[in-house]
Amino acid sequence: MNPALTLVIAFLILAFHIWASRRSPRFWFLGGIVPLVWFGLLAFLWSRGQISLPADWKILVFPTLILLLLWLKGNLAAKKRELEQMKAKDL
């Protein structure tokens, strides 16, 4: 695959993940779509023998942590925004 196309696809997936993570807390699961697909892909590649956990764990941990931290940060921001809206309505 063309490296430029790969970069564009990765950027679009990351943009969707950030957008989905910042949705209302009622839709918290939307931000979990990308990490869930990532874990599924890792399980698939591991079952086919294309990745070795002892050798590749350093490469696998970084994107996993980034995805999970983005989801957490977006979820906390959405909760804070919703709380501020509730406080504004109470005043």
**pLDDT attached to residue 12:** 92
**pLDDT attached to residue 91:** 66
Domain boundaries, given as residue ranges, for the chain: 3-90
Q: What is the mean pLDDT of the chain?
A: 87
pTM value is: 0.74
**What percent of the chain lies above the pLDDT cut of 90?**
14
**pLDDT attached to residue 20:** 86
Per-residue pLDDT tens over the stretch 12-52 = 998 998 888 888 777 778 888 888 999 999 899 989 998 88
**pLDDT attached to residue 90:** 78
Tell me how far apart the alpha carbons of residues 37 and 20 are, in angstroms, rounded to a whole number.
14
